[in-house]
């Protein structure tokens, strides 16, 4: 079988259709869908006009390629996920499913040809079969993105493990298909897209377990793959230099922009969860603040601004270490084989970020008590828990961000339970840190 494939690939280099296919797939791999469609249709019309010399198989193949270019443009635009798109996912899946059926018929017709005169059809049939595998993979990625959209409105924890398993499955199932040399441009783009998603989901999983180095390595890996995925795109810098915004003038697909924003949101969250460790690596405080200001969201600045305006005594992100995968070792680097005791009591709820710098130790028993006694209510991620301690005249607001992380705001005076400024701040932080706005933006075909 491998020998047959090798022979087919070798012979394809001599057929005149190769140059057309090379230009077409290169354009498709560079997001230039209109050029790819124009190339296929132009050649198709030329073949039809040639009296008696047109190969019906080649003409039909060009028709398939034209349809594929349209499908790929719609896929990358994310418009099929918008509520305004009639039929939504079903329409996009139907487009690819129809191509799968027609390409399968083409492959069978061409593969059955014999004789020297039919060698071109045999080789083109092999290409059609490869494209069919690609379209089958696309139907599954369409389903995946459609599955992500409603998670933006989900009020409970997103099962990132399940999402990661789905992406892993897509890579394992389709990673070795559509491998023909001519299809390398779309093969690379398909693989990089899934690997970026895979890396972002892994980074999120590591952050949920508060693992600094594994998260950092995944984000670095995603950064490299995004650069490769956008290698043929001209960029312009946004207002924040840390967020590269693709130029709309060159028709950059919203799908790529969404992946870039997903990564930028993860980096922003990483900067808050591991603020202490990162700040110690900067040459100066001003330099570190400058780096944070260039992120998609400067969570630290938002917390400080809120704290000053609301006159909060303390704002902390609290991590529940109970039953964690790894023993909590505190901020900074630790040797992987170093031994640490499992935190107990109040120490099992450290403040991984706190403003002002230190958590209020004398009030921590109350914080831990509320986190435990209100655990059932905190499963609703949109809920903000309110508690006023009359004996100490302290007001507590708590919301769970995601997983083991909670946001706690403390005031040394009585505050109204319905204080809109406080609740809106906590709900906004909740939305930003758990990434619901990123998933919701898929449904809207969000462009940034």
Omega before 369 within 30 of 0, i.e. cis: no
Picking from 383, 395, 393, the residue whose alpha carbon sits closest to that of residue 426 is: 383
Specify the pLDDT at position 9: 46
Specify the pLDDT at position 224: 96
Picking from 396, 256, 40, the residue whose alpha carbon sits closest to that of residue 244 is: 256
Specify the pLDDT at position 111: 61
Specify the pLDDT at position 108: 80
- CATH number given to 298-437: 3.30.450.240
Low-confidence ranges of the chain (pLDDT < 50): 1-13, 87, 89, 117, 239-242, 245-250, 445-448
Q: Are 108 and 101 in contact (CB under 8 A)?
A: no
Specify the pLDDT at position 365: 97
Gap between the Cα atoms of 422 and 384, Å rounded: 10
Specify the pLDDT at position 231: 85
Picking from 68, 194, 198, the residue whose alpha carbon sits closest to that of residue 130 is: 68
Domain ranges of the chain: 2-232, 298-437
Gap between the Cα atoms of 365 and 352, Å rounded: 16
Specify the pLDDT at position 55: 80
Gap between the Cα atoms of 268 and 244, Å rounded: 14
Specify the pLDDT at position 7: 43
Specify the pLDDT at position 12: 44
Specify the pLDDT at position 165: 96
pLDDT digits (tens, 9 = 90+) for 214-243: 999 999 999 999 999 988 776 555 544 445
pLDDT digits (tens, 9 = 90+) for 56-85: 889 999 999 999 999 999 999 998 887 765
């Amino acid at each position: 079988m491998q020998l047959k494939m090798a022979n087919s690939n070798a012979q394809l280099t001599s057929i005149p259709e190769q140059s057309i296919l090379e230009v077409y797939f290169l354009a498709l791999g560079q997001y230039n869908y209109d050029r790819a469609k124009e190339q296929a249709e132009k050649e198709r019309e030329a073949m039809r006009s040639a009296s008696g010399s047109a190969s019906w198989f080649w003409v039909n193949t060009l028709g398939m390629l034209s349809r594929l270019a349209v499908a790929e443009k719609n896929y990358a635009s994310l418009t099929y996920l918008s509520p305004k798109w009639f039929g939504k996912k079903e329409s996009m899946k139907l487009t690819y499913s129809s191509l799968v059926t027609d390409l399968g018929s083409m492959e069978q017709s061409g593969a059955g040809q014999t004789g020297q005169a039919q060698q071109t059809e045999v080789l083109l049939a092999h290409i059609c079969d490869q494209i069919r595998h690609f379209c089958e993979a696309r139907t599954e990625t369409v389903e995946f993105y459609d599955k992500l959209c409603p998670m933006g409105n989900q009020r409970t924890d997103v099962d990132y493990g399940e999402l990661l398993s789905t992406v892993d499955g897509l890579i394992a199932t389709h990673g070795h298909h559509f491998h023909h040399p001519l299809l390398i441009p779309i093969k690379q783009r398909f693989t990089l897209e899934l690997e970026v998603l895979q890396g972002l989901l892994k980074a999120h999983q590591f952050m949920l377990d508060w693992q600094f180095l594994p998260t950092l390595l995944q984000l670095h890996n995603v950064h490299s793959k995004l650069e490769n995925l956008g290698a043929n795109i001209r960029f312009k810098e946004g207002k924040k230099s840390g967020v590269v915004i693709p130029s709309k003038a060159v028709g950059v697909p919203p799908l790529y922009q969404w992946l870039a924003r997903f990564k930028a949101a993860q980096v922003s969250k990483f900067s808050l969860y591991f603020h202490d460790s990162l700040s110690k690596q900067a040459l100066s405080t001003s330099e570190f603040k400058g780096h944070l200001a260039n992120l998609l969201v400067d969570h630290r600045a938002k917390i400080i601004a809120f704290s000053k305006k609301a006159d909060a005594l303390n704002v902390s992100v609290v991590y529940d270490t109970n039953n964690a995968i790894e023993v909590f070792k505190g901020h900074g680097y630790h040797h992987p084989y170093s031994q640490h005791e499992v935190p107990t009591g109040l120490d099992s709820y450290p403040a991984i970020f706190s403003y002002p710098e230190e958590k209020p130790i004398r009030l921590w028993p109350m914080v831990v008590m509320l986190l435990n006694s209100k655990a059932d209510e905190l499963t609703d991620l949109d809920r903000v828990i309110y508690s006023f301690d009359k004996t100490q005249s302290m007001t507590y607001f708590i919301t769970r961000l995601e997983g083991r992380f909670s946001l706690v705001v403390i005031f040394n005076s009585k505050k109204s339970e319905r204080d809109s400024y406080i609740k809106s701040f906590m709900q906004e932080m909740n939305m930003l840190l758990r990434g619901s706005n990123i998933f919701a933006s898929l449904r809207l075909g969000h462009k940034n």
